[in-house]
């Protein structure tokens, strides 16, 4: 540890740009300068050889330090104020606020800390807000929550992640501040463990959100206006601008509708992930239609839909399905299945679903692919099926089946066979069909 | 313009210590500083001096870029690579690479390095961080005590 704080690495161009406060680092990239660089390069080299020690942060532009701090919890970032005079007020300009009550012994301390941080942060922008308040009881500090959200939404927030987990039981009630719904700068919103009490608010103007992730988000199905929870969510958050929608661990209701088509207004939706979703038992639609004009990726994981799932997404390129409900029934209404990748799996007993019984023989239900247009070709690049029933429509022409590049079959986790033509596939299924779970329909 | 760009086969990068790296054009796409330099030139072969990046660091950056530019590698393989990549680095390396990433204007690599550094100093004592990065405190003990009191909620 020699005290050589004689830095010569001063030509990192970002220093110049970075010293100006409030520079957004992504945009403030350096430009290759051809002059003077060769001289400084030698200095850098010599200096490096002469001494390996130097105050490393001394030649680091503020923008880079802020970048590092933005990956930490705000509490940790604030603690850097005592490092040296240079660091004293650096944290007040961080672009990412990350509050987590778990880092505090008492919720009272957490509250004081959050309010203190907000009061210290003049007009600096906030790009990302992470707010996790795990309460011991079934209560949310509404006042604090409002202050944090209001601060973020008035400082150019782009991404918000909220988790209000109660220790004893899931989703505590919360009034979602109006400013959150009307925030125009917001692009990504994640809400976990929330039970909003003011969900009947009409959407005045839809923000340009791109991503919405809701998890353990309770929509009260007993109240009259929630006869269709999806419509309620769409009304609340606005679905039309979304490119990614992810819903997880939610119980929904749907009454009086034969065919539920909740995503029909998602005109920009490219990615849809539904996991651990279920309908309230007696309130089940006959058909659950997933119809979105631009949908590319559809992931269904461990949902309990006791109804037919109709996928009508003309631009679908990837369909991933993790089994849960034994009576899931699919219908694909897609003009072309060319280059569509199917990935159908059962819960892996190690990772995906811990409550799935080990070694249990399951069938993922029938996957019935009915094609609306008979002149299109069925060509899977990969179809991954876990021992179950594969029902192909009888109208299917043999020639189109032969276009299957490969069928990857897993029986449990032990078999992995690649089969190139239908005879082998049926032979394969026959071999494993002593078990009553299997039914083989050949073309 | 597009035709000119595609005609470039190999790009030569010259590090501060004079070591030379020949890479494919798709490897340097992430390096916006280099890419903008290439875009300005009409030549078929390009040789670019990078006087602020050392050979060792440049080799690591290229290794990273190659892995991440590869379409054959799965997401898992890339994550595994990232994990190992960070593991074999000392804190010095990370700081140098962060600065190099900034100089080369590599957005995702910059994020990656900043995250790795943040993980190292997070949840460490002030003394540890100061020592680790060799920051000399220019506060008097009284000033520091005052600051700690002022920001007491962060030190609870």
Q: Are residues A202 and A100 in the same domain?
A: yes
Task: Say whether B92 and A56 touch across the interface (CB within 8 A).
Answer: yes
Regarding whether A273 and A125 lie in a shared domain, the answer is yes
In-domain check, residue B74: yes
Are A330 and A342 found together in one domain? Answer: no
Whether B62 is in a domain gets the answer: yes
| Among chain A residues, CA nearest to B152 | A113
User: Which residues of chain A lie closer than 8 angstroms to B126, CB-CB?
Assistant: 79-80, 82-83
Q: Is A432 found in the same domain as A401?
A: yes
Are A71 and B129 a contacting pair at CB < 8 A? no
Q: Could you tell me if A162 and A38 lie in one domain? A: no
- The sign of the torsion formed by the CA atoms of A260, A262, A264, A270 equals negative
In a domain, B35, yes or no: yes
Answer yes or no: do A299 and A340 share one domain: no
Question: CA of B29 to nearest chain A CA: how many angstroms apart?
Answer: 15
pLDDT tens-digit series, residues B22-73: 988 888 888 998 888 888 876 666 788 898 899 999 999 999 999 998 888 8
Query: Which distant-in-sequence residues (6+ apart) come within 8 Å of A222 by Cβ?
Result: none
d(Cα A82, Cα A379) in Å, to the nearest integer? Answer: 63
Residues A236, A151, single domain; the answer is yes
pLDDT of A115 higher than 50? yes
Whether A252 contacts A282, CB under 8 Å: no
Residue A78: which of B16, B49, B154 has the nearest Cβ?
Answer: B154
User: B135 to chain A, minimum CA–CA distance in Å?
Assistant: 6
- B80-119 pLDDT, tens digit each: 999 999 998 888 889 889 999 999 999 999 999 999 999 9
Domain annotation covers residue B55:
yes
**pLDDT in the model for residue A309:** 79
Q: How many domains does chain A have?
A: 3
CA distances from A404 to A83, A346, B102 (A): 63, 22, 47
Q: Measured between alpha carbons, how far is A426 from A432 in angstroms, rounded to an integer?
A: 10
Chosen for mutation from B32, B49, B135, B147 (greatest number of chain A CBs closer than 10 Å) is B135
Round to whole Å and give the CA distance between A438 and A409. 14
A115/A248 same-domain check: yes
Is residue B104 within 8 A of residue B53, CB to CB? The reply is: yes
Contact (Cβ atoms closer than 8 angstroms) between residue A289 and residue A310:
yes
Name the band, by pLDDT with cuts 50, 70 and 90, for residue A25.
very low
With contacts defined as CB-CB under 8 Å, which chain A residues touch B117?
68
**Running DSSP on this structure, what letter comes out for residue B127?**
H
Task: Judge if A163 and A76 occupy the same domain.
Answer: yes
Nearest to A82 among B33, B51, B139 (CB): B139
Q: Could you write out the DSSP letters of every residue in A270-336?
A: -EEEEEEEEE-TT---SEEEE--TT--EEEEES-B--SEEEE--TT--EEEEE---TT-EEEE--S-
Range of the domain at A436: 336-443
A342, A392, A396, A397, A429 from A442: Cα distances, Å: 20, 7, 10, 11, 10
Which tokens go with A37? 């660089």
Classify residue B139: in a domain, yes or no.
no
Can you give the residue range of the structural domain that contains B17? 2-90
CA distance A435 to chain B (A): 35
Measured between beta carbons, which residues in chain B are less than 8 angstroms from residue A11?
A: 52
Domain count, chain B: 1
SS3 of residue A380 by DSSP? strand
CA distance A298 to B119: 33
Q: Which of B114, B128, B152 is the best residue to mutate to test the A interface, defined by the most A CB atoms within 10 Å of its own CB? A: B114
Burial (0-12, 13-18, 19+ Cβ within 10 Å), A30 = buried
Q: pLDDT (tens digit, 9 = 90+) per residue, A142-170?
A: 899 999 999 999 999 999 999 888 766 66
Q: Is there a single domain that holds both residue A133 and residue A256?
A: yes
Question: Quick check: is B66 in a domain?
Answer: yes
State whether ipTM is beyond 0.85: yes
Q: Do A41 and B51 touch (CB under 8 A)?
A: yes
Is A212:A203 a contact under the CB 8 Å cutoff? no
Do A14 and B99 lie within an 8 Å CB cutoff?
yes
Kindly report the nearest CA distance between residue A37 and chain B, in angstroms.
Answer: 6
Q: Report CB contact under 8 Å: B103, A85.
A: no
Same domain for A312 and A406?
A: no
The domain boundary residue, chosen from A62, A83, A98: A62
Parallel, antiparallel, or unpaired for β A159-163 and A128-132? Answer: parallel
**Whether A298 and A195 share a structural domain:** yes
Of A335, A351, A368, which closes a domain?
A335
What six digits make up the tokens of B56? 């060792």
**End-of-domain residue from the set A9, A38, A62:** A62
The CATH number linked to B59 is 3.30.710.10
Name the pLDDT band for A217 (thresholds 50, 70, 90).
confident
């Amino acid at each position: 540890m020699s005290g050589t704080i004689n830095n010569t690495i001063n030509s990192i161009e970002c220093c110049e740009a970075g010293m100006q406060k409030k520079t957004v680092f992504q945009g403030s990239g350096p430009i290759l300068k051809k002059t003077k660089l060769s001289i400084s390069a030698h200095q850098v080299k010599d200096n490096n050889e002469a001494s390996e020690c130097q105050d490393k942060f001394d030649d680091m532009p503020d923008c880079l330090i802020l970048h590092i701090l933005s990956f930490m919890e705000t509490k940790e970032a604030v603690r850097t104020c005592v490092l040296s005079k240079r660091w004293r007020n650096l944290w007040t300009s961080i672009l990412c606020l990350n509050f987590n009550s778990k880092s505090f012994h008492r919720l009272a301390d957490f509250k004081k800390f959050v309010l203190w941080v907000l009061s210290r942060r003049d007009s600096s922008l906030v790009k990302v807000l992470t707010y996790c308040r795990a309460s011991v009881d079934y209560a949310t500090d509404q006042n604090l929550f409002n202050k944090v959200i209001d601060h973020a939404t008035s400082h150019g927030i782009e991404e918000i992640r909220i988790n209000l987990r109660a220790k004893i039981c899931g989703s505590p009630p919360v009034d979602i501040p109006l400013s959150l719904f009307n925030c125009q700068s917001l692009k990504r919103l994640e809400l976990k463990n929330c039970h909003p009490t003011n969900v009947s608010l009409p959407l005045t103007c839809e923000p340009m959100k791109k991503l919405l992730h809701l998890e353990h988000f309770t929509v009260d199905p007993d109240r009259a206006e929630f006869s269709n929870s999806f419509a309620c969510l769409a009304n609340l958050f606005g679905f039309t601008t979304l490119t990614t929608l992810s819903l997880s661990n939610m119980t929904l209701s749907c009454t009086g509708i034969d065919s539920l088509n909740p995503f029909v207004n998602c005109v920009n939706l490219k990615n849809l992930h539904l996991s651990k979703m279920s309908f309230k038992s007696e309130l089940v639609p006959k058909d659950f239609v997933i119809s979105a004009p631009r949908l590319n990726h559809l992931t269904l994981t461990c949902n309990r839909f006791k109804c037919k799932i109709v996928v009508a997404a003309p631009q679908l390129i990837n369909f991933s399905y993790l089994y849960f409900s034994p009576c899931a029934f699919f219908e694909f209404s897609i003009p072309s299945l060319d280059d569509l990748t199917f990935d159908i799996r059962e819960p892996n007993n190690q990772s995906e679903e811990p409550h799935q019984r080990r070694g249990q023989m399951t069938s993922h239900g029938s996957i019935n692919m009915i094609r609306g247009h008979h002149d299109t070709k069925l060509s899977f690049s990969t179809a991954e099926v876990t021992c179950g029933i594969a029902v192909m429509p009888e109208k299917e022409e043999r020639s189109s089946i032969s276009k299957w590049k490969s069928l990857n079959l897993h029986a449990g986790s032990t078999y992995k066979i690649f089969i190139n033509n239908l005879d082998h596939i049926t032979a394969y299924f026959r071999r494993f069909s002593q078990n009553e779970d299997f039914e083989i329909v050949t073309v | 313009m597009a035709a000119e760009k595609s005609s470039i086969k190999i790009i030569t990068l010259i590090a501060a210590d004079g070591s030379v790296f020949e890479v494919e054009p798709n490897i340097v796409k992430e390096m916006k500083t280099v890419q903008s330099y290439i875009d300005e030139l009409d030549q078929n072969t390009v040789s670019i001096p990078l006087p602020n990046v050392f050979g060792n660091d440049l080799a690591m950056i290229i290794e990273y870029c190659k892995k991440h530019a590869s379409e054959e590698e799965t997401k898992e393989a890339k994550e595994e690579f990232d994990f190992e990549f960070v593991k074999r680095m000392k804190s010095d390396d990370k700081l140098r690479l962060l600065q190099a990433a900034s100089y080369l204007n590599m957005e995702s690599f910059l994020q990656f390095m900043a995250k790795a550094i943040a993980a190292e100093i997070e949840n460490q004592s002030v003394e540890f961080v100061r020592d680790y990065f060799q920051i000399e405190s220019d506060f008097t003990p009284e000033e520091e005590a005052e600051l700690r009191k002022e920001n007491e909620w962060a030190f609870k």
